[in-house]
Each structure stands twice: as C-alpha cells, then as structure tokens.
Structure 1
Amino acid sequence: MEWCQVVRTNPERRNALIDAAIEVLAREGARGLTFRAVDKEAAVPAGTSSNYFPNRDELLIQAGNRFYERLLPAAEAGPPVMEGPRTRETYVALMAAVVERITDFRTGYLALLELRLEATRRPELQAILTKRVRTDLDFNLRSHDDSGLPGDADSVHLLYLALNWLILERLTLPDLFTEEQAAELIRMAVERAIPLDS
C-alpha cells in the first residue's frame, strides 16, 4: 500500500493555523516558524498543521496571503471619510486611516516583514510576494482612479513607499515619533505627493 499525506480541508481550522503562523512569525521570526510552534500557538494537537500544509514553504506563502485577506474586508467597506469632498484634506484623513488600520494589525505587518526577509533567500516566495504586492498596488491605483481624489499614479506610489516606512517605524521603534508627529508626517507626505493645483 502506497503512503500518502492526508491533506485536511476544514477552512476555519486552516485559517486558524495560518493566523497562528502569523503570530509565530511576528514573535519568533522565520526561523521559529515550525509546525510544532504553529500547533502550540493554535492550541491544537501536535501534527495538525502538517495535515494542512505539505511543507514549511507553503505555510510561509499562506501566511503572506492571509495578511492581505485580513486587511481586505476593511478596505472593501471603504472608510467613512470617503463620503466627503475629494480634497487633499480628505486624502490626509484617508491615509491616516490606512496607517491606523495596518498598525492595528501589528503582528500581521511584522510577520509580513519576516516574510519579506525570508523571500530574499527563497526565489519562489519572492515571486509570490512580488505578485501579491503588485496586485495590492494595482488595486490601490484603480481605487484612486475611481475615487475622484486629487493626484495621480506617482502620488499613489510615493505615498505607498512613504507610509509603509512610517508604519515600520511605528511598529519597530514606537518611541521615535509621537502620535502628533506621525499625523504631521502623514499630512506632509500627502501635501508633497499631491500638488495643490491637482
């Protein structure tokens, strides 16, 4: 009789295991991500995660995808700020809401940083993350075009880069900028990326 791995398909259990992997990545880094650590974090019997994922690489990939899935519902709902006029001030409020939403999912963002570092050593993971981030950027560009907000594609790219670094500072060096300084940096980033006459 030929042996084969039984792959489980319970989607709730699978997502719980991936969420546990995100927590492990954020706390212990990529080297600490093992099936045993994920099982312990998820409070499931030993060997459970290996029934859902054929190898560690697949678990890394699914953790990256899950980060975006967990952010997406809030993005689809759209922030209440978009009910007002389409001005630079609206853009500032929107970017502040985005920064807050991402920093509120602290472990997810830190896990994503771990995945980015791991991707420098794993070409397949790098290709998948590149595709996923490109999809996210394309979504942001389409949303911007549909929103009627001022600015152009260059504005979106500049704000993406600037605010991602601000989020990194807020999560890894939280005492570097106060809340007030962070809010002012967001305002300045929007004002520099979007000319007044756009």
Structure 2
Amino acid sequence: MVRNPQRRTALLDAAIDVLARDGARGLTFRAVDAQAGVPAGTSSNYFTGRDDLLTQAGARIHARMVPPPEKVDAAMRPEPSRELVADLMKWLVRRMTAERTGYLAMLELRLEATRRPALRAELTRAVRADFDENTRFYLGSGLPGDADTMLVLHLAMTGVLLEHFTLPGMLPEAELDRIVETLVDGIVPAR
C-alpha cells in the first residue's frame, strides 16, 4: 500500500462525496478517483478492496464530525441547565448541517452495513464508542438528567437529523431550533 497520508485523506473525502451523492452502490474506485481528480487506479493503491474503502470512509466521517476540543470547552462555559442542553443540541444540528455530505454518507454506510457484517461490526463499534464517550461527558458535566436522558436525546436527535437531511420539507429549517427546544423540554428534567 502507498503511504501518502494527505492523498489517502483526499481519497477518503472523495469517497464521502460519492457516497452522499450516489449512494453505496455508486462507490467504486473509478468514481472515487474521478471525484478526487487523480489518475484512474490511484485509490486501488490505497485500499485493499471496497470493504476497506467503506470502513475507512466511515472512520473519516467520524473524524470530520467531532468538534475541536476548544469549541466544546467554549460551549460548556455556561452553567449546566436544560437551556444549555438545548443550546448544545442546536449546535449539534448546525454542525451536522455544515457537514451535510458526511452525514448523508454515514446514512448510506449504515444502510450498507445491513448487508456487510464487517462494516456493521466496525460502525457499531465506532458509534457505540462515540455514544459511550458522549454519555460519560454528559454525566460528568453536571447537565441535568442521567444516562437514560442521554440515550433518549441521542435517539431524538438522530431522528431530527434523519428527517432534516432526507426529507427537508418535513422539518422546515426555520423551525429546527423550536423543534429541538421542544424535544429537550420533553426529555431533560428541569433542575
């Protein structure tokens, strides 16, 4: 395998674009090479096969979606409260909207994982690890609620994002903040 980390990252970003645009069935080495603007056959020098490309694209999506620690620190400066949880969930929606391509690609990967056991195992591991870390963070930050609160918030926000990205007219963009506030009010206990 060729060792050029910048080229590998560019190819993975191109794979994410292809996944979001064409779906998992459209993800081919040829499509990735064309999207990345590299000579045909380049991506096959970086990935052992399609499963490897799918799995590494999933890891790259997660890396792109994680906010920088300094932004998390800034977001956590206010006193822990239900209002802060609502602000954090609105921030999540804005971050995912800014990373729309990555989120759509992740949805494609999740669907593809239903047919590929190795991909399913890797995505389950990665998503579970993220969820567990987010739960530890939530509980350790003094935000109201418990682990079940975090679970229900996770599931609710996943649903909001799914609707927002796949059926944009279902949840009008102008209403997203209000919808998030309603969800948080119904899920997070008042102090």
TM-score bracket for the superposition, by shorter chain length: over 0.9
More divergent stretch after superposition (152-161 vs 184-193): 184-193
Q: Is the 8 A contact 1:79 1:94 kept in 2?
A: no
Aligned counterpart for 1:61 among listed residues 40, 52, 55? 55
Aligned counterpart for 1:153 among listed residues 131, 135, 147? 147
Identify if the C-alpha distance between structure 1 residues 102 and 79 changes in structure 2 by more than 3 Å, giving closer, same or farther.
farther
Superposed displacement of residue 162, structure 1? 0.6
d(CA) in 1 for partners of 2:74 and 2:109? 32
AA paired with 1:142?
A: R
Partner in structure 2 of residue 41 of structure 1 = 35
Consecutive unaligned residues of structure 1, counting only runs of 5 or more, are: 1-6
Aligned counterpart for 1:102 among listed residues 96, 99, 105? 96
d(CA) in 1 for partners of 2:129 and 2:139? 15
AA paired with 2:105?
A: A
Superposed displacement of residue 74, structure 1? 3.1
Aligned counterpart for 1:82 among listed residues 71, 76, 81? 76
How large is the Cα RMSD of the aligned pairs? 1.3
Query: Percent identity between the aligned chains?
Result: 53
Superposed displacement of residue 76, structure 1? 6.1
d(CA) in 2 for partners of 1:10 and 1:53? 12
d(CA) in 2 for partners of 1:164 and 1:23? 21
Partner in structure 1 of residue 183 of structure 2 = 189
Larger radius of gyration: 1
Identify if the C-alpha distance between structure 1 residues 16 and 33 changes in structure 2 by more than 3 Å, giving closer, same or farther.
same
Superposed displacement of residue 69, structure 1? 0.5
AA paired with 1:129?
A: L
Superposed displacement of residue 142, structure 1? 1.2
Task: State yes or no: 1:123 paired with 2:117.
Answer: yes
Partner SS state of residue 91, structure 1: helix
d(CA) in 2 for partners of 1:129 and 1:181? 31
Partner in structure 2 of residue 174 of structure 1 = 168
Q: TM-score, normalised by structure 2?
A: 0.95
How many residues are matched? 191
Aligned counterpart for 2:136 among listed residues 110, 133, 142? 142
Task: State yes or no: 1:28 paired with 2:22.
Answer: yes
Q: TM-score, normalised by structure 1?
A: 0.92
Aligned counterpart for 1:133 among listed residues 116, 127, 137? 127
Task: State yes or no: 1:163 paired with 2:157.
Answer: yes
Consecutive unaligned residues of structure 2, counting only runs of 5 or more, are: none
d(CA) in 2 for partners of 1:170 and 1:152? 27
d(CA) in 1 for partners of 2:61 and 2:168? 21
